[in-house]
Amino acid sequence: MDARVASRLKFVKLFFHTGEFLTRYHPLTIYCLDFHIPVSYITVARGCITIQTSTLMRLRSHAIKHVFPGPGLLLIAVTAIPATALKAGPELVPVSASSPPPAAGKMASEWQKGYKSRVRIIAGDTNLPARGNTWAGVHVQMAPGWKTYWRSPGDVGVPPSFDWKGSRNVKKISVEWPVPKKYKDEYSTSIGYKHEVILPIRITAKNRRKPVDVKLRFAYGICADICVPVETRLKLTIPSRRPGYRALLERYRKMVPMSVRETGKVVNGFSFRKIAVRLKGKNPNIIVEASVPDNTRKAELYVEALNGFYLPLPIGERPSAGNYRRFVIDLTKSDLPQKLKGQTIALTLVGDKSGIEYKYKIN
């Protein structure tokens, strides 16, 4: 690699086929790493270096040399962030119509600034009967042109992670995921959110008559032409019997796909009609036939293997008529298809602002 390119690279992120994410924060450069990582080809574009596996050796940049391809590592991408880019401070993020309701008091934490983004925790009303549940949300705002990721980020990306250690009066915490969008660029397809998102948090308190102390170590990726890992710490004491950001939380809770337990069941116009799995032969695949509400502009299917097995993004076929949709998951691009036998996959069918989820066991 050209020494002038290597000198500008500092932080390295590795994404693996299994979905496992590893970040190494040290002054090593890609120039050092490319002698030890078996790869098939490397590309350099817009300040990022991408290393991907393929059957044939393809070298897309004259600036990179000394590449040793090999089958030893299932590597999707390596993104290097120019050190100069990390010096830029966060841009001002446009605030949504989320001013606190009257008498809300401190039902939100302070904003914590990250690179091109900021994050806080907000709480919903705690003066309503909720069977022991308190609703809160992780509120992320991003600068124009930047995005963060869904729980399954697509070809490349960093799924958010949550560490609730230190929280008090908490029996259980679960995160819900509003309908994401699919974003394509020249090299990959990712799944996530732009501008703003609130990830609803369902909190079951041990004693609903007492305040809930929430502490969160939140890690996420903020990405545009480069991708920067961000980690922040948030805390909020949620008092009982207090109005909060109910309307804002409800807006995003309504965007969380509803769970269904069987094919054929219609929920808000969505249904899974048929699921067919072929694990053997020349063209192993999963075919999903579904229905979406009338006048749906864009329908997407996202699929996840719950054991970390890598599955490629489904390809949606052009609808032949009405609200019928058909999606194909090409298993020749996944890990060994036979390993899916007996595994459970999660299918998320979404439209413009809602959807359904179904967990399907492959027999």
Give per-residue pLDDT as tens, 278-333: 999 889 999 999 999 988 888 999 999 877 788 889 999 877 667 899 999 999 98
CA gap 43, 34 in Å, rounded = 12
Query: What confidence score (pLDDT) does residue 96 get?
Result: 53
251 burial (CB, 10 Å; 0-12 / 13-18 / 19+) is middle
CA gap 168, 220 in Å, rounded = 24
Judge whether 104 lies within some domain.
no
Judge whether 281 lies within some domain.
yes
Query: What confidence score (pLDDT) does residue 53 get?
Result: 33
Q: What does the pLDDT look like over 16-70, one tens digit per residue?
A: 332 222 233 222 223 223 323 333 333 333 334 444 333 222 222 322 333 333 3
Domain range for 215:
112-253
Q: What does the pLDDT look like over 220-240, one tens digit per residue?
A: 999 987 888 999 999 999 988
Both 180 and 305 in a single domain?
Answer: no
Judge whether 142 lies within some domain.
yes
CA gap 167, 332 in Å, rounded = 44
Domain total for the chain?
A: 3
Cα R_g (the chain), whole angstroms: 22
Question: Taking Cα atoms as reference points, which of 321, 346, 149, 296 lies closest to residue 230?
Answer: 149
Please say whether the beta carbons of 90 and 33 come within 8 A.
Answer: no
pLDDT band at 1 (very low <50, low <70, confident <90, very high): very low
The predicted model scores a pTM of 0.75
46-55, 147-156, 247-256, 285-294: least confidently modelled range: 46-55
CA gap 20, 18 in Å, rounded = 5
Judge whether 105 lies within some domain.
no
Both 22 and 143 in a single domain?
Answer: no
Judge whether 89 lies within some domain.
no
Query: What confidence score (pLDDT) does residue 363 get?
Result: 87
Both 291 and 230 in a single domain?
Answer: no
Judge whether 94 lies within some domain.
no
